[in-house]
Structure 1
């Protein structure tokens, strides 16, 4: 089994990438591949540009990499209550190639932020729209106050309750 994980963020110090990496690596006896959305460069989407260039190469590469997964762990960053612009733009390009992006493969959706809200708004949006894009969300978890609940040095959740929630969520991918 292969789990592909990524943080929907372009930050080089992304807390969402750290959380997705932690969660995906909780699964035993699986191959884990961590993607960095910075590796999939695409121009700002427009229908006019799509007519001119066709499908953006970065979007095709991202979709090809996603296709290699048996399951996903995605942690959504939140910018002003929504997806970060870079992730939304990549997603828009990819969905023009194949709207069934996630092919009904099991997924765990996560979100975190430094604040007490834990990026709940973007997690709710991602979970609510998943079915339109072939998403098969088995569990979704918001992690509030990231730096109070995660040790960036060790790459681990420090809050026992949250750690158990994430472990149980990841186990649903293996069922």
Structure 2
């Protein structure tokens, strides 16, 4: 059976992006889902001096091993001041020191959501532009605006948004099973 990992690029214990990633991953058929929490991969703030002093922390390698062992990745970004959350950027920096092609050509479903009307669109654009240069095999992209109005435990409330998400899930699912 194919395996996918799902995570929110946030360290919030109540992350709406983690909720969206988990919900989406659970919609993919015929896969085993592993949910990752960035809080389980604590890392010091990246710096070349620290890397030279201590080397690569084990948690960076552990997270990268999950990526390399997956058949697909569902990643939903928290947007902090129009960019990646600090915790994600730090993890990303450490992993890129191990392997510059961090995403290892594993099929990616990139997502973002926020309480606001743009749904994390800015950070999603940044990742969609950057990741292909780092082994990112982006197969699906989705932004959910106004999370609190458009999401419930049973899924996406708005029919148009739900249909858009379903189409992206099918594209991702096809890529995972190829």
Q: Normalising to structure 1: TM-score of the pair?
A: 0.95
Superposition map of 1:89-128 within 5 A:
89-128=90-129
Cα RMSD (Å) of the superposition?
1.0
Give the corresponding residue for 1:46: 47
Deviation, 1:173, is 2.2
Cα separation, 2, equivalents of 1:174 and 1:14: 24
Runs of 4+ in structure 1 deviating by more than 4 angstroms, as ranges, are none
1:173 aligns with 2:177: no
Kindly provide the CA deviation profile for residues 18-47 of structure 1, in whole angstroms up to 9, marking residues without a partner as x: 000011111111101111011111101000
Gaps of 5+ in 2: none
1:164 aligns with 2:160: no
**Superposition TM-score, scaled by structure 2 size:** 0.94
Aligned residues of 2:68 and 2:106 also touching (Cα < 8 A): no
Aligned residue runs from structure 1 range 126-165, under 5 A: 126-151=127-152, 154-165=153-164
Deviation of 1:174 after TM superposition, in Å, equals: 2.5
Rounded to whole Å, the distance in 2 between the matches of 1:78 and 1:71 is 22
CA apart distance, 1:91: 0.6
User: Are 1:26 and 2:21 counterparts?
Assistant: no
> Contact 2:96/2:102 (CA < 8 Å) preserved in 1?
yes
Kindly provide the CA deviation profile for residues 47-102 of structure 1, in whole angstroms up to 9, marking residues without a partner as x: 00000111111101110111221011110000010101111011100110011111
Alpha-carbon shift at residue 14 of structure 1 (Å)? 0.2
Note the alpha carbon deviations across 1:100-157, whole angstroms, 9 max, x for none: 1111111110000000011111000000001111111112111110011001xx2522
Contact map agreement 1:18 1:155 (CA 8 A) in 2: no
Residues 155 and 58 (structure 1 numbering): CA distance in 2 closer, same or farther, change over 3 Å? Answer: farther
Distance, in Å, in 1 between the alignment partners of 2:130 and 2:81 is 18
Count the aligned residue pairs.
173
CA distance in 2, matches of 1:108, 1:64: 18
Q: Which residue of 1 aligns with 2:38?
A: 37
